[in-house]
Chain A
Amino acid sequence: MPNESNFNHLRRIAALAAATAAAAAALTVSATAASADTDSSALGAALDRVASDDLTYTPPRQFSS
């Protein structure tokens, strides 16, 4: 379980994740508007997925084995 030192690191990670999500939202909006996202890397695929997600729908998590 995380100790205080680990928690400080995790706080920084969480802040970074929040900034990333905000930046990704801007990125995916502009990519969708331009219809020009041809990045076939893992990150490109991930941004495409987020851009096409229906944010009003909470998908179920599925069995993983």
Chain B
Amino acid sequence: MRELPLVSISSKASLGTKVVEWPTKDVVDAALADPQWQSRPFVEFVLKVHSRCNLSCDYCYVYEMADDSWKGNPATMSKATVDQAATRFGEHMRAHSDDIPVAKVVLHGGEPLMAGPKLITYLTERFHAETPPGIELDIRMTTNAVLLTPDNLRLMRECGIHAYVSLDGGREAHNRHRKYANGRGSYDATISGLNALSAPEYRDLFSGLLCTIDVTNDPIDVYDMLVSHEPPMLDFLLPNGNWNEPPPAWDGDSNTTPYADWLIPIFDRWYNAPVRQTSIRLFDEIINLVLGGQSRAETVGLAPFQSLTIDTNGSIDFCHQLKSAFNGAAITGHNVSRDSLDALLLQPGVVARQMGVHALCDTCKACPIRNICGGGLYAHRYKVGTGYLNPSVYCADLSRLIGHIVERVAKDVLEHDC
């Protein structure tokens, strides 16, 4: 594959006109010229069924960062938009059925449960109806758990929806960021909902916990608190940030690694346990890469990313985490009302995430651990001028964390092998 230009400038920024940042159309040309490259269909569909939230978390990439496009969108996805989204999904599934064993639909928001039972039921029925035989439909939801009432749990059972719950640790840790608009913390309501989801009759619908890292919390306290809920999976999310809007604990010194320093004690506690207490997605994926496997999470590794997002207005978007980069970063210009999903497969922003090592910047290409790190989460690479063609703003943290995990795993595997 030929070298990719760093940045294509359509007109001069000094004149106040738009600078086209990487990835540009050159990415698509380079991919099409490469006989090894193959476009991959979308297999994961994040549906913004409700664009407002009953919480006002201060780190939310939808409402609190660079993008404010939510203001102009309908609060709830209409039935007509659900129909169009399901129809486009069905077309795409049928066109690529040989390559798709499982299709995943993730109900997202805002808070998806605010969309109400009628719309959620209708949506799941429409997507099931559009799923061809031979493809398994996996429906998930990311929720703050505040609305996990008995009625909504029955709804989830009837619709076959499994839920990830956002929980940042104990009361103080959680309430620091995850608040109602009036400033009151949401911990009690979240725990109440989580306990209801964890009850025996619904436990199989519990997918796991998502914890956004705040390094001012004690990592072991947070881990112990999260594990006490016996989640089948835990994930620790690095706060969204980039080279222009750095993460909260980032000081620009490549020798300081506050996020790795926070994660490593958790890794050691988890890894040293004689019986694994739960899956920790970030650690599991790194270990799998170290052992010669491939990652299934977008945070690490170089395997293709085959996900798109459909907003309440039918807009077909890139992953909404990109909203943390700049206003409009997730927009493709496509909409389910007029465009097929196949029409997006050759968008530069899609191709760039299916090119593996070819889509990394020169620094990452030269890095010895690039196949493990994969350049980190795409949104974390953004820098004005060079777009996403940069190392992650978490480069130092990822390097240190991966180095620690490799040393621990290597010691055990190589000793075992001797």
Contact = CB atoms under 8 A, between A and B. Distances in A.
Interface residues of B, number: 64
Contacts, number: 157
Interface stretch (B11-19, B38-46, B129-137): B38-46
B294 A58 contact: yes
B270 A13 contact: no
A12 to B, nearest CB: 8
Contacts of B417: 23, 26-27
Interface string A30-65: 000000000011111111011001000011111111
A14 B279 CA distance: 24
Nearest to A59: B296
Nearest to A43: B412
B9 interface: no
Given A19-B414, A49-B288, A63-B298, A42 B271 contact: yes
A44 B395 CA distance: 29
Contacts of A61: 295-298, 301, 303-306
Interface stretch (B77-85, B185-193, B334-342, B365-373): B365-373
Interface in B395-414: 395-396, 399, 402-403, 406-407, 409-410, 412-414
Given A42-B287, A50-B292, A60 B414 contact: no
Interface in B251-277: 254, 270-271, 273-276
Given A10-B403, A24-B413, A41-B275, A63 B319 contact: yes
Nearest to A60: B306
B241 to A, nearest CB: 14
Given A62-B307, A64-B281, A41 B274 contact: yes
Contacts of A47: 291, 413
B372 A20 contact: no
Most chain B CB within a 10 A radius of its CB, from A23, A45, A64: A64
B212 to A, nearest CB: 8
A49 B273 CA distance: 18
Contact of B407 (A16, A27, A40, A65): A16
B417 to A, nearest CB: 4
A9 B403 CA distance: 8
A58 B299 contact: no
B92 to A, nearest CB: 14
A22 B409 CA distance: 13
Most chain B CB within a 10 A radius of its CB, from A2, A3, A17: A17
B306 A50 contact: no
B363 interface: yes
Contact of B395 (A2, A9, A59, A63): A2
A11 B403 CA distance: 10
Given A10-B369, A20-B410, A42-B271, A60 B291 contact: no
29 contacts: A1-B254, A3-B254, A7-B367, A7-B368, A10-B367, A10-B369, A13-B407, A17-B290, A22-B292, A24-B291, A41-B274, A42-B270, A45-B276, A49-B288, A53-B293, A60-B296, A60-B303, A60-B307, A61-B304, A61-B305, A61-B306, A62-B296, A62-B307, A63-B298, A63-B319, A64-B237, A64-B299, A64-B377, A65-B237
Given A17-B406, A65-B210, 5 more contacts: A19-B414, A42-B283, A60-B43, A61-B306, A63-B46
Interface of B: 40, 43-44, 46, 104, 106, 142, 210, 235, 237, 254, 270-271, 273-276, 279, 281, 283-284, 287-299, 301, 303-307, 319, 321, 363, 366-369, 372, 377, 391, 395-396, 399, 402-403, 406-407, 409-410, 412-414, 416-417
